[in-house]
């Protein structure tokens, strides 16, 4: 009986809690908006060198996130956020990951979220068009409305699946903490690997020599930098939840710029079609007012203000009445 009790204790101790699973997922979800702020700063202040970040941020993040997750899967059998919380992936039968499982994990960690974000951006645009009544009553319009409804149903069902999986995990009915892990026959457990030699400890003690440099030591230094960055991001995220003026997961709101010499040229008309406004819509980054359909179509293709060339996205636009009310409060 003592042997069974010891095995039970070891199993429980190696079983991550739901709070750790949610925490690592929250950290993973923070990477995208955090780097998006950096990309916005660079593309706004250095448009000649970094304008591509505004047009191709999703693709840039896909490459960077892919490299990051590949590194951690290769050396730690975990994603970046999982490793930060001392977790790693194993097969449900307790065996370690093979190259096939690592490749499958990489696809689910990098490619699937990329496709999901692309679909969500489209759905958001279609929702705006539907709310403004600009969806046509044809096959294309019907398809967009169907996508809006299907997406809402999918999000609801997927949330319920997550909840059901959490309940199963807490009740010991499944070893997989997340539905996607269950699909690929994996689970998370605590990593018992010994920490690699500390690059920074040797550096600050003055014991680091050029002859001592090796791959393990350099890897330790890179991992330490990434983990400190992750901790800083989590700290800002927690702080922002108590401060309404700071949020890591939202892009900064740009104040309306002063009038320029082009403002009088487009007074009372849309700078794109040069006609009187149809559903006046403000682009806050520049302060110019456009027709709803004109600016939505232009931003979908160009990702910048047509007058000032400042970076902007279709989801940045605001109806004129809402914009006035928001700025008057």
List the CATH number of the domain containing 316: 3.30.40.10
Q: Name the residue range of residue 84's domain.
A: 12-193
DSSP 3-state of 261: coil
Residue 297 token pair = 């179509």
Q: Which of 21-30, 160-169, 186-195 has the lowest mean pLDDT?
A: 186-195
Q: Are residues 158 and 43 in the same domain?
A: yes
Q: Is residue 216 part of a domain?
A: no
Residue 57 shares a structural domain with residue 167: yes
69/174 same-domain check: yes
- Tokens describing residue 157: 């069902």
Give me the residue label for tokens 């440099």.
213
Determine the pLDDT at residue 66. Answer: 95
Find the mean pLDDT for residues 126-133.
Answer: 80
* Most confident range, picked from 40-44, 167-171, 183-187, 291-295: 183-187
Residues 6+ apart with CB under 8 A from 208: 199, 202
Which tokens go with 83? 């490793």
| Residue 278 placed within a domain | yes
Do 71 and 184 lie in a common domain? yes
3, pLDDT greater than 50: no
Same domain, 132 and 261: no
The pLDDT confidence band at residue 278, using thresholds 50, 70 and 90, is confident
**Which of 64-78, 116-130, 307-321 has maximum average pLDDT?**
64-78
Are 21 and 157 members of one domain? yes
Q: How far apart are CA 80 and CA 64, in angstroms?
A: 12
pLDDT of residue 223 exceeding 70, the answer is no
Question: Do 20 and 153 have their domain in common?
Answer: yes
Mean pLDDT of 51-67: 89
Of 69-73, 237-241, 267-271, 307-311, which one has max mean pLDDT?
Answer: 69-73
Domain final residue pick, 170, 193, 216: 193
Domain count, the chain: 2
Banded pLDDT at 248 (limits 50, 70, 90): very low
**pTM score of the predicted model:** 0.70
Cα 321 from Cα 307, distance rounded (Å): 21
189 and 277 both lie in a single domain: no
């Amino acid at each position: 009986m003592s042997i069974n009790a010891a095995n039970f204790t070891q199993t429980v101790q190696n079983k991550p809690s739901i709070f750790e699973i949610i925490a690592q997922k929250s950290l993973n979800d923070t990477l995208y908006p955090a780097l998006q702020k950096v990309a916005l700063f660079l593309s706004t202040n250095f448009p000649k060198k970094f304008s591509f970040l505004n047009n191709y941020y999703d693709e840039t993040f896909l490459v960077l996130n892919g490299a990051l997750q590949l590194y951690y899967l290769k050396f730690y059998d975990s994603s970046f956020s999982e490793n930060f919380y001392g977790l790693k992936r194993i097969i449900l039968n307790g065996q370690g990951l093979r190259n096939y499982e690592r490749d499958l994990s990489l696809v689910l960690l990098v490619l699937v979220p990329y496709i999901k974000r692309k679909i969500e951006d489209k759905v958001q645009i279609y929702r705006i068009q539907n709310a403004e009544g600009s969806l046509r009553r044809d096959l294309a319009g019907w398809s967009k409305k169907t996508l809006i409804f299907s997406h809402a149903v999918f999000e609801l069902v997927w949330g319920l699946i997550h909840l059901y999986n959490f309940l199963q995990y807490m009740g010991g009915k499944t070893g997989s903490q997340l539905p996607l892990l269950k699909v690929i026959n994996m689970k998370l457990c605590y990593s018992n690997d010994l920490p690699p030699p500390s690059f920074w400890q040797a550096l600050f003690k003055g014991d680091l020599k050029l002859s001592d440099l090796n791959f393990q030591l350099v890897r330790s230094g890179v991992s330490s930098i990434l983990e400190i960055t992750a901790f800083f991001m989590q700290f800002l995220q927690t702080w922002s939840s108590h401060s309404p003026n700071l949020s890591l997961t939202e892009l900064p709101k740009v104040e309306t710029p002063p009038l320029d010499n082009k403002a009088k040229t487009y007074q009372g008309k849309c700078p794109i079609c040069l006609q009187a406004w149809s559903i006046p819509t403000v682009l806050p980054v520049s302060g110019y007012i456009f027709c709803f359909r004109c600016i939505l179509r232009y931003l979908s293709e160009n990702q910048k203000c047509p007058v000032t060339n400042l970076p902007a996205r279709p989801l940045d636009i605001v109806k004129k009445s809402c914009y006035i009310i928001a700025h008057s409060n």
